[in-house]
Amino acid sequence: MVGISLARIFKAALQNFWRNIWLSVATAAIMVITLLMISFLYFANIFGGQVLHSIQEKVDLSVTFKEDVQEQYIQAVANELETRQDVEKVTVITSDQALESFKSRHTDDPLIEESLGELENNPLPASIFILATEPRFYENIAKQLESDKYTPFIDSVNYEGSSTVIDRLIALIASVKNVGTVITIVFALLAVLIMFNTVRLAIYSFREEIDIMRLVGASRWFIQGPFIIESVIVSLFAVIISTAILYPVLNTIAPHLQRFFFDAQSSPFNIYDYAVTHWARVIGLQVGAAVGLAIISSMIAIRRYLRD
């Protein structure tokens, strides 16, 4: 009995859907735009995070020591820095290592090789590279290194000035998020409004049936179910369309984004690949948003126009 009733509720929902096909399509269209906005926000968030991360990885703080500073001392400074909460990683480059890496970078340059051979002492200073857990911490770390305790041994504290780039990027991501959120909310409200009206019209066109259903003892779910399910059908329809738009678009823009934001990385972040591997999350987000909006709007319409 429950099964047959459920089947009838679904049948009635589909009938509503077809009876108002153009309204259903218009509702679905607005829902598609809303879902695309939500997806855009989602991907902008993910992508921004990745870009930020890749830039942060490039930034660091380096300290160059004076020529005759002992290796033990350098190691001690490194150890001291490592105990700090805001420091993620400390790398020590001894002057020998610096020379090695310099040489290996210039193996094809006979002129440089020659001039290096003429030197008695290693001219390259020892240094340490510090990676902070977050870019905003560099300033504090630098301050510690500039204190009197270290000045006799340290030649210079080099702080790559990319912090302004990062700050700007963070601000940009934040404003994209804000504008995106506002637009998304506007479209979500529009979707609710239109869906609400669709359900209201459906209720209106079924008012005779509804009266008679009540008369002959239809349960609340039997009367209201079709309207809720109809709006859920419309919203799932919208999910299919928005997914069908979303993936090709991501596929098209992914290589451009990759080239523009992640130059010369061994494994640059690809937004399309991300969307493919995280398909369940991407579709789940849309289904959740679409069905949620559908249920909210149809419930409001039912509460207002199907009072018993």
Partner 1 sequence: MITFTKVSKSYTPNSAALDDVTLNIPTGDFVSVVGQSGAGKSTLLKILSAEERPTAGNVVIDGWDITRIKKWQVPHLRRQIGVVFQDFKLLPKRTVFENVAFAMEVGGAIPKEIKNTVPHILKLVNLVNKADEYPTKLSGGEKQRVAIARALAYKPQILLADEPTGNLDALHSWDIVQLLIKINKLGTTVLLATHNDDIVNALKKRVVTLNGGKVVSDQQGGTYKL
The one-letter amino acid at 17: F
- Rank residues 221 and 279 by Cβ distance to partner 1 and give the closer one: 221
For residues 207 and 226, give the distance between their C-alpha atoms in angstroms, rounded to a whole number. 13
Q: How many residues does the chain have?
A: 308
Which span (1-9, 163-171, 232-240, 280-288) binds partner 1, by CB under 8 A? 1-9
Applying CB under 8 A, does 108 fall inside the site for partner 1? no
Q: Site for partner 1 (CB under 8 A): which residue of 21, 111, 216, 264?
A: 216
- Rank residues 53 and 220 by Cβ distance to partner 1 and give the closer one: 220
Of 228, 210, 201, nearest to 298 (Cα)? 228
Applying CB under 8 A, does 66 fall inside the site for partner 1? no
Applying CB under 8 A, does 167 fall inside the site for partner 1? no
- Walk across the sheet containing 127-132 and list its strands: 87-93, 127-132, 61-65, 154-159
Chain centroid to CA 160: 26
Applying CB under 8 A, does 211 fall inside the site for partner 1? yes
Q: Site for partner 1 (CB under 8 A): which residue of 133, 219, 265, 277?
A: 219
Name residue 91's beta-bridge partners.
129
Of 51, 52, 53, 56, nearest to 132 (Cα)? 56
Applying CB under 8 A, does 264 fall inside the site for partner 1? no
Q: How far is the CB of 5 from partner 1 (least distance, A)?
A: 5
Kindly determine how many residues on this chain lie close enough to bind partner 1 according to the rule CB under 8 A: 19
User: 292: which residues sit within 8 A by CB, 6+ positions away?
Assistant: none
Of 261, 241, 208, 228, nearest to 51 (Cα)? 261
Applying CB under 8 A, does 213 fall inside the site for partner 1? yes
DSSP line for 140-178: HHHHHHTSTTTTTTEEEEEE-TTHHHHHHHHHHHHHHHH
Q: Site for partner 1 (CB under 8 A): which residue of 58, 105, 149, 214?
A: 214
Applying CB under 8 A, does 207 fall inside the site for partner 1? no
Q: Site for partner 1 (CB under 8 A): which residue of 103, 136, 220, 281?
A: 220
Task: Specify the residue for token string 């150890």.
Answer: 79
Which span (2-10, 34-42, 92-100, 274-282) binds partner 1, by CB under 8 A? 2-10
Applying CB under 8 A, does 262 fall inside the site for partner 1? no
For residues 28 and 31, give the distance between their C-alpha atoms in angstroms, rounded to a whole number. 5
Applying CB under 8 A, does 5 fall inside the site for partner 1? yes
Q: How far is the CB of 215 from partner 1 (least distance, A)?
A: 6
Which span (43-51, 89-97, 216-224, 246-254) binds partner 1, by CB under 8 A? 216-224
Name residue 92's beta-bridge partners.
128
- Rank residues 201 and 213 by Cβ distance to partner 1 and give the closer one: 213
Of 161, 123, 126, nearest to 142 (Cα)? 161
Which span (59-67, 134-142, 187-195, 218-226) binds partner 1, by CB under 8 A? 218-226
Binding site for partner 1 (CB under 8 A): 1-2, 4-5, 8, 208-209, 211-220, 222, 308
